[in-house]
Amino acid sequence: MIPGSFDYHRPRTLEEAVSLLASLGEESRVVAGGHSLIPMMKLRMALPEHLVDLQDVAELKGIRIDGSQITIGAMTTQAEMIASAELARLCPILRETALQIADPQIRSLGTVGGNVANGDPGNDLPGLMQALDARYLLRGPGGERELPARAFYEGPFTTALDPGEVLAAVRIAAPAAGHGWAYEKQKRKIGDYATAAAAVLLELEGGTCRKASIALTNVGDTPLLAEAAGRALVGTAVDAAAVKAAAEAAKAIAAPAEDGRGPRAFRVHLTDVMVTRAVEKARSRAS
Amino acid sequence: MSKMHVKMTVNGRAVEALAEPRTLLIHFLREELALTGPHIGCDTSHCGACTVDLDGKSVKSCTVFVAQANGAEVTTIEGLAAADGSLHPLQEAFREHHGLQCGFCTPGMITRAYRLLQENPNPSEAEIRFGISGNLCRCTGYQNIVKAIQAAAQQMAVATTAPGEAAE
Ligand SMILES: Cc1cc2nc3c(=O)[nH]c(=O)nc-3n(C[C@H](O)[C@H](O)[C@H](O)COP(=O)(O)OP(=O)(O)OC[C@H]3O[C@@H](n4cnc5c(N)ncnc54)[C@H](O)[C@@H]3O)c2cc1C
Ligand code: FES
Ligand code: FES
């Protein structure tokens, strides 16, 4: 499979990248790790005339931690996120989720920014970013703006990113110390997107849940924040009845596509199973 | 859509060529440089047969444009043996432990295992299985691949500690 022809650009700064995109116009596209874009170009589902490669833009790389504020540069690879001991300590669900993306080779090039900007409902990080209430830092010709991840995804491969805008970083407020977390993903094999997956974060106080957020991957056109499911846990001891209520509420918003991963009813059922497992695991990890 | 001037270091040798930016690294290696060790299995980033080392990372070279690899250092299976032709401990171990049958996955498997052992010189069996999970083998059932990587890890550990031990 041979992709269409394009001209290649490798800017050294974010400013240069943004002005290149502005001058090259609609037919230009950013390439990060290339592990969603190149497969689409091979299938000729994407035919950009210009590729603007961000690999040399140093300001888009790296993880910065300032108290409980985490900033992950868009060009940080998924492997680098997994390897960060500080992230594993402050916000371990990032590592748990990233370890379930694709395989080692793909994670060594695939970036955090590419994963969240891509807009494929199969991507795992967008769902997680719903649960974490992350914010995306966007940079365009008109300057910088910040958008909640919860307002970013509009449909399959359709996001709030304006043409010519670059996602520069993901910002996360680390969950409180002692929080419980889990990312549970059902997949057919290593390197497959989720049949269904659930991200859960919760906080306990004296055995009672005071805060919970639950989000779902690949059971809708976009990642889904399961607000009612999270609410079903708050104020409870996260006992069997509460877990069941949360799973039911999550199931109610699941609207998965029918594809090789199974019929709709099966994937809705798996949503229930993933949420149940993730809530139970998160509760067992909370202190 | 003109060709671009590409320069990289492949198996320690500086190479230069004119190539279309869209050329996939695997095609550049195989067709331009005649390095046919890395294979094309799936062409869809799944099988790992095309695995090479790119700037110290294992990558699937069917999913990298040659333009992205411009300026990089690349190691393929051809670059693992020593200059005198003696095999790398991983290559020896795959031979010794029957880590291959048809051999199609082997260049990618060994190149991936090479990077895995750089990152984790003493992996557990589970770490080896997780570390090679992006490489598919249709023949061996993986048992002997895992054994071969374990044996190579031991061999390489002995090789690196031997001079110190000799001094004691
Ligand atoms: C076999 C296989 C299995 C996979 N399995 C999974 C999986 O299980 N879970 C999962 O989540 N992902 C999976 N992926 C996708 C992988 O994680 C990709 O790396 C990721 O989706 C895209 O990141 P990238 O850096 O490779 O981006 P690219 O492919 O370079 O870009 C993807 C898209 O985002 C845009 N883009 C990239 N960076 C930016 C930016 N900074 N600003 C604005 N736009 C940008 C590009 O223009 C393009 O449209 C898989 C991929 C493969 C090939
Ligand atoms: S040929 Fe590259 S992963 Fe299969
Ligand atoms: S030895 Fe035949 S595919 Fe692995």
Distance between CA A178 and CA A287 in Å, rounded? Answer: 5
CB of B44 within 8 Å of any CB in chain A?
Answer: yes
Q: Nearest ligand, CA of residue B139?
A: 3
Question: CA-nearest residue of chain A to B119?
Answer: A83
Q: Nearest ligand, CA of residue A34?
A: 1
CA of A76 vs chain B CAs: smallest distance (Å)? 14
Which H helix or E strand runs over A83? Answer: helix A78-83
Q: What is the pLDDT of residue A195?
A: 98
Question: CA-nearest residue of chain B to A10?
Answer: B68
**DSSP letter (8 states) at residue B31:** I
The answer to whether the beta carbons of residues B126 and A99 sit under 8 Å apart is no
CATH assignment, A7-53: 3.30.43.10
**CATH T-level assignment (fold) for domain B89-160:** DNA polymerase; domain 1 (1.10.150)
Distance between CA B69 and CA A86 in Å, rounded? Answer: 30
CATH architecture of the domain covering A180-285: 2-Layer Sandwich (3.30)
Q: What is the pLDDT of residue B1?
A: 63
In three-state secondary structure terms, B40 is coil
| Helix and strand totals (H; E) in chain A | 11, 14
Confidence of residue B2 (pLDDT cuts 50, 70, 90): confident
Q: Which two tokens stand for residue A13?
A: 């700064």
Which ranges in chain B are annotated with CATH 1.10.150.120? 89-160
Q: Nearest ligand, CA of residue B41?
A: 2
The pLDDT of A206-234, averaged and rounded, is: 98
Of the partner residues A6, A102, A106, the one whose CB lies closest to the CB of residue B1: A6
Of the partner residues A1, A34, A103, the one whose CB lies closest to the CB of residue B65: A34
Asked if ipTM goes beyond 0.90, one says yes
In three-state secondary structure terms, A140 is strand
- Return the percentage of chain B with pLDDT > 70, whole number: 95
* pLDDT over 50 (residue B82): yes
**DSSP letter (8 states) at residue B65:** B
Count of CB pairs separated by less than 8 Å, A with B: 84
Distance between CA A120 and CA A131 in Å, rounded? Answer: 17
- Show residues of chain A in contact with B38, CB under 8 Å: none
Q: Which two tokens stand for residue A36?
A: 């969603």
CB of B67 within 8 Å of any CB in chain A?
Answer: yes
Counting from 1 in the atom list of ligand 2, the atom nearest the Cα of B62 is 2
Q: Where are the extended beta strands (E) located within chain A?
A: 7-9, 28-31, 50-53, 63-66, 69-73, 135-140, 143-148, 153-155, 158-159, 166-173, 180-186, 196-205, 208-217, 224-225
In a 10 Å sphere around its CB, with 0-12 CB exposed, 13-18 middle and 19+ buried, how is residue A244 labelled?
middle
Q: Which two tokens stand for residue A29?
A: 């596209």
DSSP per-residue string spanning A25-49? -TTEEEESS-TTHHHHHHTTS---S
Q: What is the pLDDT of residue A1?
A: 87
Which ranges in chain B are annotated with CATH 3.10.20.30? 4-78
Residue among A38, A64, A39 at smallest CA distance from A53:
A38
CA of A279 vs chain B CAs: smallest distance (Å)? 25
Q: What is the pLDDT of residue B166?
A: 43
Q: Which CATH number fits the domain B4-78, given the four candidates 1.20.1270.30, 3.10.20.30, 3.30.413.10, 3.50.7.10?
A: 3.10.20.30
Which ranges in chain A are annotated with CATH 3.30.43.10? 7-53
Q: What is the pLDDT of residue B168?
A: 38
Q: Is the CB of B132 under 6 A from ligand 3?
A: no
CATH assignment, A61-173: 3.30.465.10
Of the partner residues B46, B58, B65, the one whose CB lies closest to the CB of residue A104: B58
| A35:B63 CB<8 A | yes
Distance between CA A175 and CA A132 in Å, rounded? Answer: 8
The answer to whether the beta carbons of residues A134 and A149 sit under 8 Å apart is yes
Which ranges in chain A are annotated with CATH 3.30.390.50? 180-285
The pLDDT of A9-18, averaged and rounded, is: 98
- Tens digit of each residue's pLDDT (9 = 90 or more) over A249-274: 999 999 999 999 999 999 999 999 99
Distance between CA B113 and CA B90 in Å, rounded? Answer: 8
A97 CA to centre of ligand 1 in angstroms: 15
Q: What is the pLDDT of residue A52?
A: 98
Q: Which two tokens stand for residue B151?
A: 């044996």
Q: Which two tokens stand for residue A85?
A: 């001991």
Distance between CA A180 and CA A238 in Å, rounded? Answer: 12
- Tens digit of each residue's pLDDT (9 = 90 or more) over B126-158: 999 999 999 999 999 999 999 999 999 999 998
Residue type, B137: C
CB of B129 within 8 Å of any CB in chain A?
Answer: no
Q: How far is CA B93 from the centre of its chain?
A: 15
Rounded to two decimals, the pTM is 0.97
